[in-house]
Amino acid sequence: MGNRRHKRKGLVRKREIIALAIFVSSAVLLLAATNSFEVLARTLNLKPIGITLPFVSKEAGQKSRYDSGQKVQISSGQKLADYQNWIGTIKKVKSTETSQQKLAYTYEIKFDNGRTIKNVGESDLAKTKKSRYQQGQIVKLKSSAKENLNGRSLSDYRTSAGRVEQVSYNHSSAAGGYKYDVTFDDGGKVTDIQEGDLETIYQVKLKAENSAAQNNDVLRQAFAYAKEHPGTILSLPSGKFKIGSQTPNKDYLTLASDTEIRGDNTTLVVEGAAYWFALATGPKATDGVKNFTMRNLNIKASDLDKGNHFMIMANHGDHWRVLNNSFTMVHKKGSHVFDLGGLQNSTFKGNQFTGYAPELVNAKQIDANLSLHDYYSEAIQLDASSDNGVWDGGLIKAIDPNYGTHNKDRQISRNIVITDNSFVPYYDSKGNIKAYSGSVGQHSSDVGPIKIYNNVFSNTLVDRLNVNEKNKLWLFKAVHLKLERKGTVYDNDID
């Protein structure tokens, strides 16, 4: 055998040593970067181990919670009591090393009003909360609201609804957060309202895909809620929604006191007929639905050729406001849109009534087979309530078990203002009149002090008819009253 020289091998190969060195170095780097040596030392009851790597900074391992340019909200701090909940922008971030070799961050905050505060601790800040209300949202001013942030009294707008026009940061008080500019439904605009002085309103869940019966139920639930919660504003959504019934004397709705029904480009399309009743609560004229507002609703017939019927009938009542609504082809022959039995101290303003009794569009003479009431039946009738069951056509008498007791004394309507309304004909797509317009007044009883002025009556049915009975001529006027007092009817545009 030839001589062979054997090389002596060590216990560890060179490449294994290199791999082990890389592993140990990586472990050391990881422990140092994450400050884990100190934790390990405490666990083993050893002296703290401090290793600082020149290429691993404290900032890398301990980043500030907030960054320059970020919006933040003051959340605490005794020295920051005047700035609680203020929202501002971080302008500078400053770090200092603590005795535990950690970094503590402080911030310089600038607010939109120009103020700046420095050295705000991280624990005194929070991420900004969203505003409770958004631009365009409908809100209500609380009854407890006193003044805005500039000291302006809010008493004229308490419990009123309005639309949020602008949302801003509140830097005017320690309440902080947000402030709001609101345009109210009556036209007034108030700026700088604190968030705590506003609240949401009841959203009526009408749906376009619902049947009329389903939407009737939605309204019924909303009206019931309003009855249990005085001061409720019922906000109807934008869109077109079917309502009504073929048996409205059974499928009716009842109104509640201290309620506002508010539309927002809302159209209620009537199928059949829709009756809303306001029942008496006692024998006095003011014993009924009180403080009722209806505004910005469009009530429209589903059948614009034959028309449908919408009616609100009141037995007593006080302080109604019916504002800026429209009623299109829902005034049927011999009927009323508003039949007001003994209503007191109320205003009808800015409404439009379009079309009355389309089946009489060709009438020029009185048909002996028809009642005169079919011709002069008022869109707004200022009626007198009693227990005879005639004034209400027996409708309320049939549903109110207290009808006799509450109507033992006859009550006439008083202190009613009807102004800035229009009563116009309904035209088809070719410009032909399909239904002449209706009238206003009372045909069977006296009324108390009222004012009917600055209204437009265009092409009323009563004005185009030939009437032979002289004692009936007063009924065939756009505005007719059994006894017209001086200063009652004036400045109306009648053609």
> Cα–Cα distance between 340 and 359 in angstroms, integer?
25
In this prediction, residue 454 carries a pLDDT of 99
Which amino acid does the sequence have at 440?
Answer: V
Helix axes 14-33, 36-43, angle to 10 degrees: 90
Distances, alpha carbon 33 to alpha carbons 29, 49, 453, in Å:
6, 13, 85
Q: What is the 3-state secondary structure (H, E, C) of the chain?
A: CCCCCCCCCCCCCHHHHHHHHHHHHHHHHHHHHCCHHHHHHHHCCCCCCCCCCCCCCHHHHCCCCCCCCCEEEECCCHHHHHHCCCEEEEEEEEEEECCCCCEEEEEEEECCCCCEEEEEEHHHEEECCCCCCCCCCEEEECCCCCECCCCCECHHHCCCEEEEEEEEECCCCCCCCEEEEEEECCCCEEEEEEHHHEECCEECCCCCCCCHHHHHHHHHHHHHHHHHCCCEEEECCCEEEEECECCCCCCCEECCCCEEEEEEEEEEEECCEEEEEECCCCCCCCCCCEEEEEEEEEEEECCCCCCCEEEEEEECCEEEEEECCEEECCCCCCCCCEEEECCEEEEEECCEEECCCHHHCCCCECCCCCCCHHHHCEEEEEEEECCCCCCCCCHHHHHCCCHHHHCCCCEECEEEEEECCEEECEECCCCCEEECECEEECCCCCCCCEEEECCEECCECHHHCECCCHHHHHHCCCEECCCCCCCCEECCEEC
Phi, psi of 186 (to 5 degrees): -80, 0
Tens-digit pLDDT string for the chain (495 aa): 444 444 445 555 666 666 666 665 666 555 555 555 554 555 555 554 444 445 445 555 578 999 999 999 999 877 888 898 999 999 999 998 887 778 999 999 999 999 999 999 999 999 999 999 999 999 999 999 999 999 999 999 999 999 999 999 999 887 899 999 999 998 899 999 999 999 999 999 999 999 999 999 999 999 999 999 999 999 999 999 999 999 999 999 999 999 999 999 999 999 999 999 999 999 999 999 999 999 999 999 999 999 999 999 999 999 999 999 999 999 999 999 999 999 999 999 999 999 999 999 999 999 988 999 999 999 999 999 999 999 999 999 999 999 999 999 999 999 999 999 999 999 999 999 999 999 999 998 899 999 999 999 999 999 999 888 888 899 999 999 988 788 899 999 999
In this prediction, residue 444 carries a pLDDT of 86
In this prediction, residue 174 carries a pLDDT of 78
Name, in order, each residue with C-beta under 8 angstroms of 115's C-beta and a sequence gap of 6 or more.
171
In this prediction, residue 21 carries a pLDDT of 61
Which amino acid does the sequence have at 333?
Answer: K
Q: What are 262's strand-pairing partners?
A: 235, 295
Query: Are the C-beta atoms of 403 and 323 separated by less than 8 Å?
Result: no
Quickly count: other Cβ atoms within 10 Å of residue 231's Cβ: 15
In this prediction, residue 5 carries a pLDDT of 47
In this prediction, residue 1 carries a pLDDT of 47
> Cα–Cα distance between 219 and 31 in angstroms, integer?
68
Distances, alpha carbon 309 to alpha carbons 80, 262, 268, 293, 342, in Å:
63, 20, 12, 21, 22
In this prediction, residue 4 carries a pLDDT of 46
459 burial level (CB within 10 Å; 0-12, 13-18, 19+) = middle
> Cα–Cα distance between 334 and 307 in angstroms, integer?
13
In this prediction, residue 319 carries a pLDDT of 99
Write down the pTM of the prediction: 0.83
In this prediction, residue 234 carries a pLDDT of 98
Q: Answer left, alpha or beta for residue 101, where phi above 0 means left and psi between -120 and 50 means alpha.
A: left
In this prediction, residue 22 carries a pLDDT of 67
In this prediction, residue 409 carries a pLDDT of 97
Nearest to 53 by CA among 27, 35, 33: 33
In this prediction, residue 76 carries a pLDDT of 82
Query: Are the C-beta atoms of 457 and 495 separated by less than 8 Å?
Result: yes
Could you identify the residue written with the tokens 């402030």? 179
In this prediction, residue 98 carries a pLDDT of 83
In this prediction, residue 165 carries a pLDDT of 98
Could you identify the residue written with the tokens 């070719």? 430
Nearest to 302 by CA among 430, 211, 214, 432: 211
Name, in order, each residue with C-beta under 8 angstroms of 24's C-beta and a sequence gap of 6 or more.
none
